[in-house]
Amino acid sequence: MKTDCHNCPLRKLDLFDPMSKDEVHFMSKFKTGEFVAQPGTEILAEGASSSQLYTALDGMGLRFKTLENGSRQVVGFILPGDFIGLQSGVMGEMQHSVEATTRMTMCVFNRSELWDLFKYQPRRAFDLTHVAATEEYLLGEALAAVGQMDGYAKISWVLNRFFRRLTALGLNENDQVPLPYRQQDIADAMGLSLVHTNKTLAKLREDGVATWANDTLTVHRPKMLAENAFERGTRLRTRPLI
Amino acid sequence: MKTDCHNCPLRKLDLFDPMSKDEVHFMSKFKTGEFVAQPGTEILAEGASSSQLYTALDGMGLRFKTLENGSRQVVGFILPGDFIGLQSGVMGEMQHSVEATTRMTMCVFNRSELWDLFKYQPRRAFDLTHVAATEEYLLGEALAAVGQMDGYAKISWVLNRFFRRLTALGLNENDQVPLPYRQQDIADAMGLSLVHTNKTLAKLREDGVATWANDTLTVHRPKMLAENAFERGTRLRTRPLI
DNA sequence: CGGCGCCTTGAAAAGAATCAAGTCTCGTGG
DNA sequence: CCACGAGACTTGATTCTTTTCAAGGCGCCG
């Protein structure tokens, strides 16, 4: 195991709630190892029951559902610190698939030990519920964007969200953040066609708002981007790290 | 308090997981009273931190977010058995508003006692997390429908969902279920305009699939409705009742 | 009886999907 | 070293779904 929980690089970020010594100790016992997924690998499959749960430590991925009619809905983007497998852990099986976009490193936990967490670490159990509620919140925001905004606002919304999340993770350098996804991924997330997504990105570029090229997103006018996305003045919301 | 947890009418349904004697006892202490909301009343407001949490006992309501541009996204429909206020309980404030559509009766819990649940009832805490994960699952399904389906499929999807949920609650009589919402609510849930929603409902009626009138949904061809909605052969999924 | 809320319907306008090429980059193999 | 091909990105033209606009109808309550 390369990364010991005691010097977890993620926990140091302001984005995540601090953890007590005891909690860190519990987590380091709870963590059974590390797992590296290569780009394009499926980490969890929709409908599958996994005996492992993960926390993304490094790299990026995405969550998606495949419909009967063949289309794909991206239900979330996985960035470092995100917990993977909650549904499998508490409901028995995943309701969406998870795939690695870049090379990903993940902390591995045994599902069978999840019960210990509830039994002996109520504080951590509460945090896990917090994580679940946060997921629900994020999905609600996404639903509102997909359901109510037009194309220009949708793309602004998703880029703004990436910009803010990645900035909180300390990955912002001169208003540039890494964004290794494909346009098709963003299209499938926002319920737009690839062509329309592409044209909308071009418009945002022409408008001098943001440029996304070479796996890098550059935001020239952060305020304008946030306005386009109807962002409310939301302060940084800290959350627990599992 | 009118309804004692010991003879809770909801718990008897197959839809909900059984509860141990001890758990029922804990819940009846956890429940501090009952609350009746009149139609149109706001039960919880987005951004507000409530000191009370609820479980819908009777009646129907809806969850929604209001965007800066004035539009409204319905993020969920509340039916008997649904837990209300999870986000407020664990994250400190609600991320969407909750409103009563019909007259609603709710079990009331004190947020301050939620911690006891985690500390002394790990099994119930697990169930609460299960509820949170279920919410996430339902939102994911809705996101896929709103993002990937066309109007006809979206309306089929939401009607089919109501039909199945209400049937599981024992409210199906001769393929008729109560549906006291307005067309605007369904439109705001599926990201369609009121006009288009209305025309699509007319089409489903003409096609002999389903008729929705007088707060009652009649499904003439359940199989066809399910097919239109791209429903996968999902068996009834039981869930915990809080 | 009047007004308000909700449902219904037709016509016009707009936004987004689809169709159809064409370009660029990068890794592979001749 | 260069031709080749796959995958991703661009762009224009056309089609069609969905929205917007506009108006009328129905039922219920004061």
**pLDDT tens digit sequence for B116-174:** 999 999 999 999 999 999 999 999 999 999 999 999 999 999 999 999 999 999 999 99
Q: Using the predicted structure, report yes or no on whether residue A110 has a pLDDT greater than 80.
A: yes
**pLDDT tens digit sequence for A46-73:** 999 999 999 999 999 999 999 999 999 9
CATH no., domain A5-142: 2.60.120.10
Pairing state of beta strands A104-110 and A52-58? antiparallel
In chain B, ranges of CATH 2.60.120.10 domains: 5-142
**Residue ranges with strand state E in A91-219:** 97-100, 104-110, 176-178, 210-213, 216-219
Q: Using the predicted structure, report yes or no on whether residue B20 has a pLDDT greater than 70.
A: yes
CATH topology of domain B144-228: Arc Repressor Mutant, subunit A (1.10.10)
Claim: this prediction has a pTM higher than 0.85: yes
Q: What is the mean pLDDT of residues B184-205?
A: 97
> CB neighbours (10 Å) of residue B161?
18
User: Is A75 touching B (CB cutoff 8 A)?
Assistant: yes
Residues of A in contact with B187 (CB under 8 A): none
| pLDDT of res. A233 | 75
Banded pLDDT at A235 (limits 50, 70, 90): confident
Nearest by CB to A90, from B115, B123, B129: name it. B129
Secondary structure (3-state) at A28: helix
Question: Do residues A212 and A166 lie in contact, with contact meaning Cβ atoms separated by under 8 Å?
Answer: no
Q: Using the predicted structure, report yes or no on whether residue A179 has a pLDDT greater than 90.
A: yes
Q: Using the predicted structure, report yes or no on whether residue A2 has a pLDDT greater than 90.
A: no
Banded pLDDT at B1 (limits 50, 70, 90): low
User: Is B86 touching A (CB cutoff 8 A)?
Assistant: yes
Banded pLDDT at A1 (limits 50, 70, 90): low
- Joined tokens for residue A149: 């905004």
SS3 content of chain B, % helix, strand, coil (to 5): 40, 25, 35
Q: What positions of strand C are covered by protein, i.e. any atom < 7 Å from a CB?
A: 6-11, 15-20
Dihedral sign of CA atoms B80, B82, B83, B84 in order: negative
In chain A, ranges of CATH 1.10.10.10 domains: 144-228
> What distance in Å separates residue B89's CA from the closest CA in chain A?
9
